[in-house]
């Protein structure tokens, strides 16, 4: 702010502008007495977001000052609401004494709260990670390289990796689901982020590689970064340095709980793109909620840190066979010996040790955090004992990392009262006997009641005034109260302190001496408690590394124990994973659907191998095609996390990626139609799938004209089966595609069954070989609530069409019709496969037939019109 402009404002507002200029993009909470005030644009924004009153009190610079106030005791709730909305808040506290200040009371920035850097329990979702993400961009050999680093401030987990291309950028953003993103002001892929809130744009110099490298080696106290395996990841290092500095700035302190950085290797995990995560509803359902998701069904973890790790495992299934089998053996032993039952009880008392330790490291832990830390440490010997006789190497390794801390446990037991206050400033944290000095100071306050009672008794006896009382209030301190009727009998040494309507209050030299001593002792006791608390945090931080190692091991143990409990309660089976080829599932079930329906779930088998790698799935709408496909993907995903699976038996080859293209809607923000979204997802699969990928595709081509859609679907199936040779489940209502099973050696038709009973459709949900015989479209429409008169009209129209074509479209003939149409489609659409398929187009002598074909408006034909024309042409051959 210029000097001329500053001169136009009051001293207090100049102070405000000075603080605001340091944080122009955050909401500034400016402490004034018992309120935090917001001014100008901050006030307008806060009033809108929080639904608080916007006023205009006073003037500065010749203009009224828009302002909004929040009571200081309610500030945490308001800050939490703002942070959940993606806003960042800067809190300026009064640091000077109003009584002695000349001019405005001195104020300083006390803390900065941003969506990605919070660690306070009140601001965090218990079972969700709160990630701060940083992205740096580099161009290498014509490729867009994006360096990612992310930090969970509440746990200290710090990771980095690199990807290339905008598609991979979008996939990782959905996987990580960060609360806040740091980018450079010149970041080239700003639109891909698709976030209105929670994005902080920093100057490009924050992402300088050299300075970022120095930041990291200083944090980890190492000579270089070779020990972390990230030396070659220059874009990721640039992002990590910017993130680390931002985190330090917001915490206004060092970050001792960040002790290492981990490199994520994309080849170590089964890759799942954004569309697949959405379609499989791993932890977010299709409507944006969390109910009826895979995570909800599986998560019975005893600790919040276990729940968060479970979600990471579900989003990042592993490909390392040894790691998978290690997890499986642990789950098998916990389940077979029922170890999971006592362990679950002990783990529940461990609580969120991970986040408690982070607050200890950041020195923001509250007294009740330390009490919960004590409870967690008391459980470790019991957990060690429960795991003492296990055979699983994985469980034994975890047990060795969960080290008991008897000295810390004893210190916390001696130090803390059984029900400590929520904040340090209230006092009353430490137990009697922990510190003699504190005990002495507290005894003065504690014994005040006895002293005052004795003084009241003796003064009544000495003065003979029966109405005399000795009391205390915060304004006037200690006093002797005598009713107005007897006030004239007060001894001469009584000094009048306060006159009331019906009484007089006095002080004596003896009472004044006690008052000074008692009040001084109270302030000294609070100061001593604060000193002792800081010392206790110092002691805990000396063991931070061991405690963090134990918390990480306990989180893993919790997830494995949860897998064992779920396997026992949900009738899950240990799958066999191998590095060969093939996916064989016997009596597989959809874990989420099974958990929400009241009737028994109908299980289904699956066999995919080199001889049978593509299943063409047909059947009526609502018949279970999508459920069947999704359950195969979920069983495969679960197997790669080490979890047991909902099946009677399963043998699954390790896959490198899982793709789904199931259902689409317009991308209005991106300006893409439903068909464009569908084709983008299809292109991603065709360009990135390999022989070891599992691909699920549902209704490809339905968003355009019939023949265009059929042609695209046909070509996609051939590419998947003949070129990529991956595992494919392909659901379609194009019955013409069922003819591919005869053309392609590795394709086979299957269908979901249904039947009619008393004019109503009954879905059997069972998978059988061969194509479907009927679509049951009218019956499904009836189930959907289409008016009866519309259904009757549709039936009448169907009969007319059958009469016109001379074909009865019932169960007995539909298969023949479909086969004929499929054969004709092979001739008309796929003319390049053999000379015989081109007969329809090369019979030059039939000029009238050629003219008929040339005159067909294929793009605007309905399916039934196309079928009628094909039969007409076939009759003329």
Q: How many residues does the chain have?
A: 877
Label the pairing between strands 157-164 and 649-653: unpaired
Return d(Cα 698, Cα 752) in angstroms, integer. 14
Residue 794 CB contacts under 8 Å (≥ 6 apart), including other chains: 778, 781
* DSSP per-residue codes, 743-803: H-TTEEEEEEEEEEETTEEEEEEEEEES--S---HHHHHHHTT--HHHHHHHHHHHHHHHH
Residue 408 CB contacts under 8 Å (≥ 6 apart), including other chains: 377, 539, 540, 543
Check the annotation: does 198 bind a ligand: no
Check the annotation: does 211 bind a ligand: no
Check the annotation: does 626 bind a ligand: yes
Residue 806 CB contacts under 8 Å (≥ 6 apart), including other chains: none
Q: Which residues pair with 473 in a beta bridge?
A: 477
Token pair, residue 313, equals 């495992």
Helix (H, G, I), strand (E, B) or coil at 730: strand
Return d(Cα 741, Cα 297) in angstroms, integer. 37
CB 582 within 8 A of CB 609: yes
Return d(Cα 109, Cα 20) in angstroms, integer. 10
What are the C-alpha distances in Å from 490 to residues 181, 463, 485, 512, 514?
A: 72, 7, 11, 17, 20
CB 48 within 8 A of CB 58: no
Label the pairing between strands 131-140 and 63-71: unpaired
Check the annotation: does 292 bind a ligand: no
Q: Where do we find the tokens 């063991």? A: 543
Q: Where do we find the tokens 């209230």? A: 426
Return d(Cα 664, Cα 677) in angstroms, integer. 7
CB 646 within 8 A of CB 628: no
Q: Give, to the nearest 10 degrees, the angle between helix 674-688 and helix 706-718.
A: 10
Token pair, residue 694, equals 């599992």
Check the annotation: does 625 bind a ligand: yes
Return d(Cα 116, Cα 249) in angstroms, integer. 13
**Positive/negative CA dihedral, 574, 576, 577, 581:** negative
Return d(Cα 384, Cα 628) in angstroms, integer. 42
* DSSP per-residue codes, 265-326: PGGGB-EE-HHHHHHHTSSS-TTS-STTSHHHHH---SSHHHHHHHHHHHHS-B--HHHHHH
Q: Which of 92, 134, 163 is nearest to 240 (CA)?
A: 134
CB 595 within 8 A of CB 572: no
Check the annotation: does 705 bind a ligand: no
| H-run or E-run covering 874 | helix 863-876
Check the annotation: does 619 bind a ligand: yes
Check the annotation: does 623 bind a ligand: yes
What residue numbers does the annotated binding site cover? 619-626
What residue numbers does the annotated binding site for ATP cover? 619-626
């Amino acid at each position: 702010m210029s000097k001329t402009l500053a001169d136009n404002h009051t001293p207090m507002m100049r102070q405000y502008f000075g603080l605001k200029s340091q944080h122009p993009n955050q909401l500034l909470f400016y402490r004034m007495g018992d309120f935090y005030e917001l001014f100008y644009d901050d006030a307008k924004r806060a009033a809108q977001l929080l639904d608080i009153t916007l006023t205009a009190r006073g003037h500065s610079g010749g203009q009224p000052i828009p302002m909004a106030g929040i009571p200081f005791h309610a500030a945490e709730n308001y800050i939490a609401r703002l942070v959940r909305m993606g806003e960042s808040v800067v809190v300026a506290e009064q640091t000077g004494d109003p009584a002695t200040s000349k001019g405005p009371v001195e104020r300083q920035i006390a803390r900065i709260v941003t969506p990605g850097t919070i660690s306070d329990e009140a601001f965090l979702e218990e079972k969700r990670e709160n990630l701060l993400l940083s992205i740096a961009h580099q161009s290498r050999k014509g490729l867009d390289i994006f360096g990612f680093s992310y930090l969970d401030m509440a746990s200290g987990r710090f990771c980095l990796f690199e990807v290339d291309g905008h598609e991979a950028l979008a996939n990782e953003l959905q996987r990580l689901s960060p609360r806040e993103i740091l980018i450079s002001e010149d970041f080239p892929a700003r639109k891909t982020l698709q976030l209105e809130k929670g994005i902080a744009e920093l100057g490009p110099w924050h992402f300088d590689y050299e300075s970022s490298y120095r930041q990291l080696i200083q944090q980890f106290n190492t000579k270089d970064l070779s020990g972390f395996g990230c030396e070659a990841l220059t874009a990721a290092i640039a992002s990590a340095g910017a993130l680390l500095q931002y985190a330090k700035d917001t915490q206004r302190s060092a970050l001792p709980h960040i002790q290492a950085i981990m490199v994520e290797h994309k080849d170590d995990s089964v890759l799942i793109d954004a569309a697949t995560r959405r379609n499989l509803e791993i932890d977010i359902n299709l409507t944006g909620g969390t109910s009826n998701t895979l995570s909800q069904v599986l998560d019975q973890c005893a600790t919040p840190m276990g729940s968060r790790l479970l979600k990471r495992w579900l989003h990042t299934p592993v490909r390392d066979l040894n790691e998978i089998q290690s997890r499986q053996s642990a789950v098998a032993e916990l389940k077979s010996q029922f170890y999971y039952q006592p362990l679950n009880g002990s783990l529940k008392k461990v609580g969120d040790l991970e986040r408690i330790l982070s607050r200890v490291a950041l020195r923001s832990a509250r007294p009740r955090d330390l009490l919960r830390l004590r409870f967690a440490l008391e459980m470790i010997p019991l957990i060690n004992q429960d795991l003492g006789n296990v055979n699983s190497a994985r469980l034994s390794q975890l047990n060795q990392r969960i080290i008991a801390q008897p000295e810390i446990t004893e210190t916390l037991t001696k130090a803390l009262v059984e029900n400590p206050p929520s904040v340090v400033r209230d006092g009353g944290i430490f137990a009697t006997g922990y510190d003699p000095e504190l005990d002495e100071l507290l005894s003065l306050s504690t014994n005040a009641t006895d002293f005052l009672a004795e003084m009241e008794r003796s003064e009544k006896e000495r003065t003979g005034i029966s109405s005399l009382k000795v009391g205390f209030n915060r304004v006037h301190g200690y006093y002797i109260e005598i009713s107005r009727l007897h006030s004239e009998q007060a001894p001469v040494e009584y000094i009048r302190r306060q006159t009331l309507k019906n009484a007089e209050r006095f002080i004596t030299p003896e009472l004044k001496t006690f008052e000074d001593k008692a009040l001084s002792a109270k302030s000294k006791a609070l100061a001593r408690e604060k000193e002792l608390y800081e010392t206790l945090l110092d002691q805990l931080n000396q063991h931070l590394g061991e405690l963090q190692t134990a918390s990480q091991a306990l989180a893993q143990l919790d997830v494995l124990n949860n897998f064992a409990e779920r396997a026992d309660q949900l009738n899950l089976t240990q799958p066999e994973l191998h590095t060969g080829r093939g996916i064989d599932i016997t009596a597989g079930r959809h874990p989420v659907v099974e958990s929400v329906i009241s009737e028994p779930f109908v299980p289904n088998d699956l066999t995919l191998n080199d001889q049978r790698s593509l299943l063409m799935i047909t059947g009526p709408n609502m018949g279970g095609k999508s459920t069947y496909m999704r359950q195969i993907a979920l069983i495969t995903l679960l197997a790669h996390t080490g979890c047991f699976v909902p099946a009677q038996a399963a043998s699954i080859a390790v896959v490198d990626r899982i793709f789904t293209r199931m259902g689409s809607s317009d991308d209005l923000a991106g300006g893409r139609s439903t068909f464009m979204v569908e084709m983008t997802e299809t292109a991603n699969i065709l360009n990135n799938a390999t022989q070891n990928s599992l691909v699920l595709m549902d209704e490809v081509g339905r968003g355009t004209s019939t023949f265009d859609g059929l042609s695209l679907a046909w070509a996609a199936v051939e590419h998947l089966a003949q070129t990529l040779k991956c595992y494919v489940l392909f659901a379609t209502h194009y019955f013409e595609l069922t003819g591919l099973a005869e053309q392609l050696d590795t394709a086979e038709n299957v269908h979901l069954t249904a039947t009619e009973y008393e004019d109503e459709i009954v879905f059997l949900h069972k998978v059988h070989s061969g194509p479907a015989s009927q679509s049951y479209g009218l019956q499904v429409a009836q189930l959907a609530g289409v008016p009866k008169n519309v259904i009757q009209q549709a039936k009448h129209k169907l009969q007319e069409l059958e009469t016109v074509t001379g074909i009865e479209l019932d169960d007995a003939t539909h298969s023949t019709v479909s086969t004929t149409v499929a054969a004709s489609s092979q001739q008309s659409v796929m003319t390049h496969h053999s000379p015989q398929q081109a007969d329809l187009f090369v019979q030059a002598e039939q000029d009238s037939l050629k003219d008929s074909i040339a005159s067909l408006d294929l793009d605007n034909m309905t399916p039934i019109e196309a079928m009628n024309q094909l039969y007409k042409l076939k009759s003329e051959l």
